[in-house]
Amino acid sequence: MTRILPAFRLLGRVLIAVTLLAVPAAAAPFAAYVMDARSGQPIYRQNSDTRLHPASLTKMMTLYMTFSAIERGQVRLDSKFTISSNAANEPPSKLGLRAGQKIELRYLIRAAAIKSANDAATALGEGLAGSEEAFAQQMTQMARALGMNNTQFRNAHGLTTDGHYSTAHDMSVLGRHLFYDFPQYYNLFSRRSADAGIAQVSATNRRFLDDYPGADGIKTGYTRAAGFNLTASAQRGNKRLIATVFGGTSTAQRNQVMAELLDSSFTRVPDRVREVKPQRPRMLVQQTTRRAQVAPTPAATQPEPQRLVLQASPPPSSRPAAASSLVASAPKVDLTEALRIATASAQANLPGVSLASSARPRARPGTEGAAIEAAIATAVAVDAPASASLAAPVLARSNRPTPAPGRGASTAAVEAAVVAAAEAPAAVEPAADGLTLDSSSAPRPRSETVILAAMGEGDISNPEALQIVRRHGDGNRHWAISLGHYGSKSEAERLLLAYALQDGSLFGSASRHVADTKRGFEPRFVNLSEGDAELACERLRSQSQSCSVVTN
């Protein structure tokens, strides 16, 4: 009996294990969407607006944000990003980056687009926005600008997280924008392998690219919760389709479903359709509106004006020693009053003549100072001929006044005049004949009080919140400059990079594009304004470089 019980227990365990293996794992929800890339019109839908886990299809938005940053001049392909410990510790698939390592942006883009490396995607988000959380918010904002209304991002790589979701329709819209908005980078999604700086990486989408004729992208994705996802683009003749599949059960099954969807859709669309390119997203610009803040003061809160008395400051102590001693010894008198008394004293004995002040005559042009002095000396001489003017006796008997100091007069001369005026008699009585000089009253002293009118308290409210202002990303930047035609694409790319590095202020906002034409590979700087394009061409022509201004 004791031997039979262990046997039954073992048999029970085996039956339970077989039963569990026979029950299939719960499959992720399935969704699909197919659109005509030329017009954006839908061709096939199945659960296309159901919010599901996008998995690594998220990296399509990460790359879109990166391309936008390059186009704005925020970063360059040769900019080096420092890898954080958070990025280095991301689970596979990964490139194998180490914390503290510095790597060029071009390699992070290749690793994220081709290998679907999670550490590279996180490094892109942190390098562009400062943190992965901030970058995820920017990704969601960009999704809204693109019309992806059922999409929300929580990270840059797509690993399953609460609140991280998208739809088959939204991912197809994103794929169409990648194709039209950044044609210069779209060929990344059709590469089977690439150099990612520290390793050679292979494409996760190479099976579908190899098996389906005309396929040239875009991105795969897989997590246990999402299933096998794929956003693909393919072209046949004049037709181009973009499709998305969510919830495949395996790579092979997903690729087979995608091929069947594309085959049936190619037969349903016409050869010639009016191409309607998607509108470029509006770039988000933060405009800060600030108000001046004025702290309340007692003067501003009182109903009546406040009178403030300004106290006299002490005299400066930088005068020469001789002048200082001279002023200290002289009695303090009013200069205007002293000059008036001195003048009255000199004219006290003139009988019955009262002089009124007259305007000083204008000097003749070219009259020299010596001639003026001689004329005055002749006029005041005692033996001069008698004048019929009433002022002649006064001029004959009065002392010549001391001339006022000019601009070049020294401080000592001014102070000497003050002392001389102070030593004159304090008061002179008029003569019996009543001859006096009319004198004007001394000017009223300037008030030393300042009246401050009450002002309003001012706006002490908090500054307004940041206001999001949207503008079209294109503006008038529909111009490009062509640098001619070259035999190889690498030669054309090297030429563009050389001029971009040579003059970053001029080409920093431009995008580099190499067009494959019948005449050869044509390097172009695109997305310039007309004025910038003309200026750039003039500089390049001055360096013996052929250049022409064209439209994008």
Q: Is the pLDDT of residue 544 over 60?
A: yes
pLDDT tens readout for residues 99-132: 999 999 999 999 999 999 999 999 999 999 999 9
- What number of residues does the chain have? 552
Question: Token match 């990025």: residue?
Answer: 87
Phi and psi dihedrals of 506, rounded to 5? Answer: -95, -40
Non-local (6+) Cβ contacts of 204 within 8 A are 56, 93, 114, 115, 116, 220
Q: Which of 13-22, 40-49, 76-85 shows the lowest mean pLDDT across its residues?
A: 13-22
What the chain holds in terms of domains, given with CATH numbers, is 31-287 (3.40.710.10), 321-348+392-398+412-439 (no CATH), 475-551 (3.30.70.1070)
SS3 509: coil
To the nearest 10°, report the CA torsion of 138, 144, 150, 156.
-20
Choose from 226-240, 301-315, 446-460, 490-504 the range with maximum mean pLDDT: 226-240
Q: Is the pLDDT of residue 315 over 90?
A: no
What mean pLDDT is predicted for residues 356-384? 55
pLDDT tens readout for residues 125-178: 999 999 999 999 999 999 999 999 999 999 999 999 999 999 999 999 999 999
- Annotated active-site residue in 48, 59, 166, 172: 59
Report the phi/psi class of residue 73: left, alpha or beta, with left for phi > 0 and alpha for psi in -120 to 50. Answer: left
Q: Which of 35-39, 105-109, 424-428, 473-477 shows the lowest mean pLDDT across its residues?
A: 424-428
Per the annotation, the verdict on 59 as an active-site residue is yes
Distance, in Å, from the CA atom of 37 to the CA atom of 217, rounded to the nearest integer, reads: 13
Measure CA of the first residue to CA of the last residue in the chain; give whole Å: 89
Phi and psi dihedrals of 245, rounded to 5? Answer: -125, 130
In this prediction, residue 538 carries a pLDDT of: 84
pLDDT averaged over every residue in the chain? 76
Q: Which has the closest alpha carbon to 69: 509, 523, 521, 544?
A: 509
The full DSSP string for 75-136 is --TT-EEEPPHHHHTPPSS-----TT-EEEHHHHHHIIIII--HHHHHHHHHHHHSSHHHHH
What percent of the chain is modeled with pLDDT above 90? 45
Q: Which of 28-42, 467-481, 485-499 shows the lowest mean pLDDT across its residues?
A: 467-481
Q: Which has the closest alpha carbon to 526: 539, 538, 512?
A: 512
Q: Which two tokens stand for residue 552?
A: 């994008």
Distance, in Å, from the CA atom of 219 to the CA atom of 221, rounded to the nearest integer, reads: 7
Which tops the pLDDT comparison, 350 or 256?
A: 256
Which tops the pLDDT comparison, 455 or 437?
A: 437
Phi and psi dihedrals of 156, rounded to 5? Answer: -100, -10
- Annotated active-site residue in 116, 172, 265, 482: 116
In this prediction, residue 1 carries a pLDDT of: 45
Per the annotation, the verdict on 56 as an active-site residue is yes
Q: What is the pTM of this model?
A: 0.51
Q: Which residues pair with 469 in a beta bridge?
A: 285
Distance, in Å, from the CA atom of 436 to the CA atom of 394, rounded to the nearest integer, reads: 10
Distance, in Å, from the CA atom of 514 to the CA atom of 511, rounded to the nearest integer, reads: 10
Q: Is the pLDDT of residue 527 over 70?
A: yes
What mean pLDDT is predicted for residues 474-481? 72
Q: Which secondary-structure segment (H or E) carries 43?
A: strand 42-46
The C-alpha angle with vertex 507 and arms to 532 and 82, in degrees rounded to 5, equals 150
Phi and psi dihedrals of 349, rounded to 5? Answer: -95, 5
Burial label, 123 (beta-carbon count in 10 A; 0-12, 13-18, 19+): buried
Distance, in Å, from the CA atom of 34 to the CA atom of 41, rounded to the nearest integer, reads: 9
- Annotated active-site residue in 56, 68, 84, 482: 56
Q: Which two tokens stand for residue 68?
A: 């936008």
Question: Token match 């008198």: residue?
Answer: 333
Which tops the pLDDT comparison, 478 or 340?
A: 478
In this prediction, residue 442 carries a pLDDT of: 65
In sign, the C-alpha dihedral spanning 490, 495, 496, 502 is positive
